[in-house]
Amino acid sequence: MTGVAPGTATITATSGTVSGSTSVTVTVANLISIAVTPTNPSIKQGATQQFKATGTIQGGGTVDLTSSVSWNSSNPSAATIDANGLATAQAVTVTQTTNITATSGSIVSPAAVLTVNP
């Protein structure tokens, strides 16, 4: 078995009438940093923006962490962000910005700045 992305899976083996299951968790070994893209998008109120989190691991490899990081919007009055990195612009009367970050363990990405226009 080879892990391809962080997460948990249930493995079941069956032979005749006998079966067994176990849970397997794949983690990112030696995560060095997280990058969020796009870095400076601009959207109108009510629109959405998909963000992606890419982790760099020791040795230089990268892994898509979009669905396994914790996402944060510094200004939820401008935009909220869900567990899959989809930001939704809120109703604004003036242009606002919010810093979007992704966190895995103690590693926090540099902020992507999302601009929300009326």
How confident is the model at residue 2, as a pLDDT?
Answer: 64
Is the Cα torsion angle 76, 82, 85, 87 positive or negative in sign?
Answer: negative
pLDDT at position 96 over 80: yes
Q: How many CB atoms are located within 10 Å of the residue 1 CB?
A: 6
Classify domain 29-117 by CATH number.
Answer: 2.60.40.1080
pLDDT tens sequence across 72-86: 999 999 999 999 999
Q: Count Cβ neighbours within 10 Å for each residue of 71-81 and write b for 16 or more, e otherwise.
A: bbbebeebbeb
The full set of domain ranges for the chain reads 29-117
**Residue 55 burial (CB count, 10 A):** 24
pTM for the structure as a whole: 0.77
